[in-house]
Structure 1
Amino acid sequence: MSRIDDLITELAPKGVPMQPLGEVGIFIRGRRFTKADRVDDGLPSIHYGEIYTHYGVATSDTISDVRADLAPTLRFAQPGDVIIAAVGETVEDVGKAVAWLGTEQVAVHDDCFIFRSSLDPKFVVYLTQSDAFKKAKEPFVARAKVKRLSASGLARLRIPLPPIDVQREIVRVLDSFQLLEAELVAELEARKQQRLAFSYTLPEAPYIKALSSGTSEHVRLGEIATPYVDPLRVQADEIYMNLGVKWYGEGVFARESKRGSTIKGTTLYRVKPGQFIYNRMFVTEGSFAVVPPELADGVVSAEFPVYDLDNSRVLPEWLLLYFQDEYTLKRVAAEVTGVERGSTKSRRRWKQEQFEAFQIELPSVPAQRELLRVLGTVAALESSLRDELVARRKQFDYYRDKLLTFEELPV
């Protein structure tokens, strides 16, 4: 960081000016295109959902294409522009941005703005991620059903404008943090795939196979899982901790607590520790979990079927492992019914009767337990990597906000 300090001392000894974004660049709203316009080989395009997918940078090989004949009706970002999401489900999502670092222009959806300036594009992106920027933009976010930012609101946001050499050095430092995080994410994914591959071969290991010799059976899930329904009438003045289920078997999580008066539904459902739960809408992404003790006070909507398991026949953690298997998820995907609706696939569901009729090969409990014990050593390494990833992200947030805080130049 001393290099940045030296540059600021040399190039901005009296402080850094603050100016509205609208005075240092222009905002261009994109033009609408639809999912039906998507093709395999056409014009590179980007919409706000893809901005959420990427972290700071988008290139030609990371996004989708639209029909080339639409070109006269579209608006394009050029290499070096910043693309900013104008809409989002939460205030934090609105204003998320990526730097367009492709080698060609990209068509931009009308739920996004193109910001064109002489600033370093990644410097602008890191600014939009900063805590100060998030707080500054809140007054300009329309509190509608879907949160929205206007070009005039963005243009009024004041940002620090250090010299370009300072901007580039800050980007270099923060990029190095991001590279370390990317390497850690890749290692975590590799360890996860290693564990899953290990889990496929372990049942055939002689000492584990012997534990189930002659006792492995094919059962319907309804034979070992009983639906648990404990309804709770929503009260306007009560506070509820809604639970969700992460993808890829990564567990239950607590959403932001809400007052009953802000909840659309009239009924929620209680859960208990050790129960098996899944999200009917995202089973193809492995949205299965076991309720942990620390979230026993949470509630779920009807989209999250909850089951008590017969622990004399199946261990919850083993069943969760079973539903992380790629082949199992393909079998589930073949049963999912409904019409796909946008990128969320929100109309496609795996119904409870389908879950309960689903057949699995069930080894003995001793074999399940031994399999989990062996895999637990790999899972422990995954857990430590996740902890390190959380720490790295906190470290990045700290230094990003620190590096983007300047002594303001007196007016």
Structure 2
Amino acid sequence: MSSLSFMEKLLDGVKVEWKALSELGELVRGNGLQKKDFTESGVPAIHYGQIYTYYDLSTIKTKSFVSPELAKQLRKVEKGDVVITNTSENLEDVGKALVYLGEIQAVTGGHATVFKPGECILGKYFAYFTQTEVFSSEKRKYAKGTKVIDVSAADMAKISIPIPCPENPKKSLEIQSKIVSILDAFTELTTELTTELTVRKKQYNYYRDQLLHFEDGSVEWKTLGDVATIGTGSHDTQDSIDDGEYIFYARGRAPLRLNEFDFDETAIITAGDGAGVGKVFHYAQGKYALHQRAYRIVPREMMHPRFVYHCIRSYFYVYIQKASVSSSVTSLRRPMFLNFPIPTPSLAEQARIAAILDKFDALTNSISEGLPREIELRKKQYAYYRNLLFSFPKPEEVSA
């Protein structure tokens, strides 16, 4: 079915009007809520970060509270209201919306605007619309600021929303409900997959800890310096070439490219400094180039490379945090690697353990075959249908 025939069937001949948000309900900017105001119990409060945490539009119950005395001074949020972010360090997060589905009246602060839907718009319909490119384009026109970007409640009120059959609120809400139910189904599926991924990660961690735990005396323990060669590369990030022949591992998750290689081997790569310090992002096989502040760990013959990979990936970050005299490790030096303890069961046992952990690793982390890939595909499918369901024609005078 083409997008045109799909929308024609959905609308069943009714007209669509684009109306300013101010015509569709009441908008009230929040006020006065700060982190220091939060309490362990009291009146539910929706704070800045919660809109991102719960942006799946599932059933919302706040995790934050304020005292009843303070709540009297704050803007109220009723069940069905939409809380919209007004400020953020990046434009993408401005205008994100959360439908409050809690049974108890909540409050919110000055970071947000509360939209109280009128008779011809569903809160969830509007919340889904805020995820579209059309809405993003509109809010961009009103954004102010550089370090902190703000779209005021007054400007938010000017943004146009497509309303099918506005002269007949009952009919309009029926059409909106159909759109919402379709998008809810995709959202629910993605949520289920995400929940499944969380379970699988916990399962992976459990089996990993079981498989890498050895009773005293059952295996010999050595240090990483005994069982692997450790070193750095010689390149800087600025050396990278977009279409380079060889992979170039720097300090972040995203590998770069280079026209020359430093090593031809199997190695575990970890960042020497920066945000990824002590974490393993890459497993190198074959020819590659390496950043001067990234480390290569090359297991010797008595060690299975994937077994070493799982040991380092699982425990090295925690090890250096404990071993460091500083409360926060910002950079690594080669001596910090040398004393990292590692068990050395037989090669056959290492291979068995590595094979099991590889399966869990693929399921929980692979973007080509695991649950992350499935979640990404579902998100793309959801985005496609969301754009399709909001592909209402926009009159020239509204879009000008």
TM-score normalised to structure 2 length: 0.73
Looking at structure 2, the residues matched to 225 and 107 of structure 1 have their Cα atoms a distance apart, in angstroms, of 57
The C-alpha deviation readout for 1:311-360, integer Å capped at 9, x for no partner, is 217666545533665x8877677678889xxxxxxxx5565369648743
Looking at structure 2, the residues matched to 378 and 179 of structure 1 have their Cα atoms a distance apart, in angstroms, of 24
The residue number in structure 1 matching 2:332 is 352
Looking at structure 1, the residues matched to 390 and 207 of structure 2 have their Cα atoms a distance apart, in angstroms, of 45
Q: 8 Å contact 2:251–2:270 — kept in the other structure?
A: no
The residue number in structure 1 matching 2:221 is 217
Indicate how the Cα distance of structure 1 residues 32 and 314 shifts in structure 2: closer, same or farther if over 3 A, else same: farther
Equivalent residues in 2 for 1:164-175, closer than 5 Å: 164-175=173-184
Equivalent residues in 2 for 1:5-404, closer than 5 Å: 6=9, 8-9=11-12, 13-57=13-57, 61-118=61-118, 119-162=121-164, 163-203=172-212, 214=219, 216-219=220-223, 226=230, 228=232, 230=234, 232=236, 252-253=253-254, 274-277=268-271, 288-290=280-282, 306-312=294-300, 317-319=306-308, 321-322=310-311, 325=314, 349=329, 352=332, 356=337, 359-364=340-345, 366=347, 367-382=349-364, 383=366, 384=369, 385-404=371-390
Of residues 375, 391, 400, the one that matches 1:405 is 391
Looking at structure 2, the residues matched to 193 and 253 of structure 1 have their Cα atoms a distance apart, in angstroms, of 25
The C-alpha deviation readout for 1:84-112, integer Å capped at 9, x for no partner, is 11122332221111111111222212111
Aligned residue identity for 1:289 = F
Indicate how the Cα distance of structure 1 residues 225 and 6 shifts in structure 2: closer, same or farther if over 3 A, else same: same
Indicate how the Cα distance of structure 1 residues 291 and 90 shifts in structure 2: closer, same or farther if over 3 A, else same: farther
Q: 8 Å contact 1:174–1:400 — kept in the other structure?
A: yes
The C-alpha deviation readout for 1:222-277, integer Å capped at 9, x for no partner, is 98574637574879xx9xx99786xxxxxx2479xxxxxxxxxxxxxx99984123
Question: The residue matched to 1:308 in structure 2 has which SS?
Answer: strand
TM-aligned CA deviation for residue 171 of structure 1: 0.9
TM-aligned CA deviation for residue 189 of structure 1: 2.5
Question: The residue matched to 1:168 in structure 2 has which SS?
Answer: helix
Looking at structure 2, the residues matched to 170 and 333 of structure 1 have their Cα atoms a distance apart, in angstroms, of 49
What is the number of equivalent residue pairs in this alignment?
Answer: 363
Looking at structure 2, the residues matched to 94 and 357 of structure 1 have their Cα atoms a distance apart, in angstroms, of 47
Question: The residue matched to 2:299 in structure 1 has which SS?
Answer: coil
Moved more, 168-177 or 183-192: 183-192
TM-aligned CA deviation for residue 134 of structure 1: 1.7
Q: 8 Å contact 2:269–2:280 — kept in the other structure?
A: no
Identity percentage of aligned residues: 26
Indicate how the Cα distance of structure 1 residues 357 and 149 shifts in structure 2: closer, same or farther if over 3 A, else same: farther
Indicate how the Cα distance of structure 1 residues 146 and 69 shifts in structure 2: closer, same or farther if over 3 A, else same: same
The residue number in structure 1 matching 2:169 is none
Looking at structure 1, the residues matched to 316 and 113 of structure 2 have their Cα atoms a distance apart, in angstroms, of 41
TM-score normalised to structure 1 length: 0.72
Question: The residue matched to 1:83 in structure 2 has which SS?
Answer: strand
Aligned residue identity for 1:321 = H
TM-aligned CA deviation for residue 400 of structure 1: 0.9
The C-alpha deviation readout for 1:147-200, integer Å capped at 9, x for no partner, is 322223212211101211111111111111111112222222223333332223
Looking at structure 2, the residues matched to 242 and 89 of structure 1 have their Cα atoms a distance apart, in angstroms, of 29
> Comparing both chains, which one has the higher relative contact order based on Cα–Cα distances under 8 Å and sequence gaps of 6 or more?
1
Q: 8 Å contact 1:18–1:160 — kept in the other structure?
A: yes
Aligned residue identity for 2:11 = I
- Gap regions ≥5 residues in structure 1: 246-251, 256-269, 340-347
Q: 8 Å contact 1:271–1:299 — kept in the other structure?
A: no
Looking at structure 1, the residues matched to 251 and 66 of structure 2 have their Cα atoms a distance apart, in angstroms, of 34
Q: 8 Å contact 2:227–2:303 — kept in the other structure?
A: no
- Gap regions ≥5 residues in structure 2: 165-171, 243-247
Question: The residue matched to 2:19 in structure 1 has which SS?
Answer: strand
